[in-house]
Chain A
Amino acid sequence: MGFEMPTEKYSGRIKEVAIGATKDQGGTRTARLIAGGSNGLPFLPFESEMPHPPLVAMDVVDTVRMVPEQLQESMGAAVKDPVEWAKKCEGEWGADLCVLKLQSANPEEEDRPAEELEALVQKTLQSTGIPMVVYGCGFEEKDAKVMEKVSNAAKGERLFLGLAEEKAYKSIAAASMANGHGIVAFSNLDINLAKQMNILLLDFGMKPENILMDPLMAPLGMGLEYSYSNIERLRLGALSGDPVLQMPMICDCSCAWTVPEALEENPERGDPELRGVYWEAMTALAAAVAGADVVIMRHPRSVTTFRNSIKALAGGA
């Protein structure tokens, strides 16, 4: 009995979505990145193409309130200044793109005015060259103001603005469409809702090539298995030919740092920070193996570890 490679062919293909714009393209970024484009399950070169292996985004949070203390120490003073942090991501840590999270807009916390955040985005764009994604604070009214300003200030840069949610997507979609930006469509671990979000945005007038899906990546130990299976199902749905599921997926794996077990002191489980690095790297690997086209990460060491894994996966055909 001879062995034959059991291959699968799918009718669908993930759309290619461009992030960022260079000078020629109307922006100031040093590169335009492409996410998606695959026509099979990840990293199986004997049966499918993966023209763009997962991109590695690093997040920059504009308030240390949201950054665990241990990380503030090890990642250094840069985490206190979002512009410096973004520069590190681009330079020393080698991120493909940067996700600026405007958490300080939170009206129940710092409540930074939209003008200041607009200035922050501008300054970050001036200080870095990698493409950028900008997330609001999750409070719809405030985000509407912030995103309008950010969109105008970054005209032509082809940012991706987020997060559009089922009950709060119109203002952010309008902001994104006004200046040729893209949008990140969030859904909460539900394949039908993910599809519904895309339909809502398309009906609103967004073009499919301007949408990235965030299906919610739950971290290792806190629901990873739900996300893993949800992403696999989304990917299989897209490959089976459903055009409304063929947008690339962006998965925020920096959530690993919100898991108490990742960082708590416990000598039996070794050094907390290194454990956290594994925690984040494994979360990201799970996302990538399931079908993520962009992963968002935080720790430079987990980024290196993950990147090496992706290189090994994409390179060794």
Chain B
Amino acid sequence: MPTAMEIYKLLPKTNCGECKFPTCLAFAMQLANQKVALDACPHVSPEAKAALEESGAPPIRLVSFGSGDLAVKMGDETQLFRHDKTFYNPTVLGLVADDADGLDAMKAKIEEAHAMSFERVGQIMRVDSVALRHSTGSVDDFVEAVKTAAGRELPVVIMCDDAGLAAKAADACSDRKPLLYRATASNFDAMVAVAKEKSLPLVVGASTLEELTELADKAKKAGLNDLVLEPGTESLADMLVKMTAIRRAAVKNKFRPLGFPTIAILGPDMMNHMKAAMGVMKYSSALLMDDMPREMVYPLLALRQNIFTDPQVPIQVKAGLYSVGEPTDKSPVMFTTNFSLTYFTVRADIEKSKIPAWMLVVDTEGQSVMTAFAAGKLTPESVAKSIDDFQVKEKSSRNEIIIPGMVSRMSGKLAELTDMKVTVGPRESSGLPKMMKTLSS
């Protein structure tokens, strides 16, 4: 967004008051805060209007593809560092099915991509997309695979350099808003025409940033707004440098030709898997991968979840009574908060004891034990309520609750409210295994 002064310079500066603000400067300030629309000024020149709309657009355009609940968004990022605010749209991960492998293999990959969905701390983490690529296989297989993918839920990427075939493939999934891959210097006009005719987002690819700038600018002038940039990322070094350059140019310098989401295509080995991790951290809006072994996908999805967590909103786990190991009604019960880090740390420490236990997770809006206690979000009352809500007394007949050492002060009140024996646990959960071994069975 431009500043009030930048906007003011473009206004008529007549202070006519027709916008209902006393001066043009006052109006500019309201505009900068997005409290009013530019339309409220009847005298603004068309040139100024165009300039303001351009500068008011986000530094990186939001581009989406796919349809329905699983449609994906790319771009709309405003930061170079997540600590400055947050990263908004998690890197889209897609699995590539190539027609060189034949139709059956492509269909299997489409299924494979759909199956890669995991629940982690209350969120669904999934592979988001299927990319169908025409290389050396049969054109019919390719189109058939596109049709098959269109019949499933995940958004589709059509990968081929031949504009005519791309158009045919796009028609095979016309209601699914696929992403078209890609226009390069050699097929530029034809591919741009297809994207325009079908109103589809288009990947523009070039091996240097200079050429990419040129092509993106050309595509924009041809009337395409939904572009995705592929800078060509041969090596890991190349990828980091180019993705950083694009993000900086767009966000810091407001360099419009590169103000679009980015994409990288990754091969099938471990180095490419590390490239995927790099892309998630450093500015790739989408990654299409030839190969996604499960051993790699789960950590990669967890990394994406971590990096795209809003620094101001902690990840929370669902409040409830969790079992660690296979607890019985004789197993000990302990509580902690629903801040995901606290939960995982405490859980890991209970597991280390190798003693099955019940773990009560109290809703503290994602705050840790000390923070929640200090803020009044972890009180004897809230713990007692959780004990009731999650029927702790029915699961464990010990009638005892172990509480974090940090909140030993709530012992008396909690005992009074619950009629349970309150045992003060260690201050740090790393002391749990030792402490649990001393519990009577």
- A interface, CB within 8 angstroms of B: 1-6, 8, 43-46, 108, 218, 220-226, 228-229, 232-233, 236, 258-262, 268-271, 274-275, 277-279, 281-282, 285-286, 289, 305-306, 308-309, 312-317
Interface residue total, chain B, C-beta cutoff 8 A? 56
Q: A225-B306, A275-B298 given as contacts; is B237 within 8 A of A289 (CB)? A: no
Q: Is the CB of B306 within 8 A of A1?
A: no
Q: Which residues of B contact A226 (CB under 8 A)?
A: 341
A316 touches B311 (CB 8 A): no
Distance (whole angstroms) from the CB of A306 to the closest CB of chain B: 8
On whether the beta carbons of B249 and A3 are closer than 8 Å, the reply is: yes
Chain B residues 91-133 with CB under 8 Å of chain A are 118, 120
**Docked-complex contact B271 and A289, CB < 8 angstroms:** no
Binds A, one of B150-158, B172-180, B342-350, B384-392: B342-350
Contacts of A259 in B (CB 8 A): 344, 348
* Proximity string of chain B (338-364) to chain A, C-beta cutoff 8 Å, 1 when within and 0 when not: 000100110110010000000000000
A308 nearest CB neighbor, chain B only = B271
- A278 engages B273 (CB within 8 Å): yes
Please measure, in the bound complex, the distance between the C-alpha atom of A317 and the C-alpha atom of B237, giving whole angstroms.
7
Scan B42-70; emit 1 where CB is below 8 A from any A CB, else 0. 00000000000000000000000000000
Q: Which residues of B contact A306 (CB under 8 A)?
A: 274
Contact, CB under 8 Å: A286 / B244: no
- Taking a contact as CB atoms under 8 Å apart, the answer to whether B341 and A220 are in contact is no
Bound Cα distance A162, B236 (Å): 33
Which residues in B have their C-beta under 8 angstroms from that of A1?
213, 217, 255-257
Q: Assuming the A-B contacts A1-B256, A305-B270, A315-B237, are A260 and B348 also in contact, with contact meaning beta carbons closer than 8 angstroms in the complex? A: yes
Please determine whether A270 and B351 come into contact, CB atoms closer than 8 angstroms.
no
Q: Is B295 an interface residue (CB 8 A)?
A: yes
Looking at the complex, which of B137-145, B275-283, B404-412 is the stretch in contact with chain A? B275-283
Q: Nearest chain B CB to A281's CB is how many angstroms away? A: 7
Q: Chain B, 254-273, contact with A by CB distance < 8 Å: what is the 0/1 string?
A: 01111000000000001101
Q: Contact partner of A260 among B240, B245, B307, B351, CB < 8 A?
A: B351
Chain A residue at minimum C-beta to C-beta distance from B248: A6
> Do residues A222 and B295 form an inter-chain contact, with CB atoms below 8 A?
no
Closest to B343 in A: A222
* Chain A residue at smallest Cβ distance from B209: A3
A2 touches B210 (CB 8 A): yes
A46 to B240, CA, bound (A): 11
A45, A218, A286, A312 interface centre (most CB from chain B within 10 Å): A312
Contacts of B210 in A (CB 8 A): 2-3
Chain A positions within 8 Å of B341 at CB level? 218, 222-223, 226
B299 on interface, CB distance cutoff 8 Å:
yes
**B237 A313 Cβ-Cβ under 8 A:** yes
What are the residues of chain A within 8 A of B345 when measuring CB–CB? 222
Chain A residues positioned under 8 Å from B344 (CB to CB): 221-222, 259-260
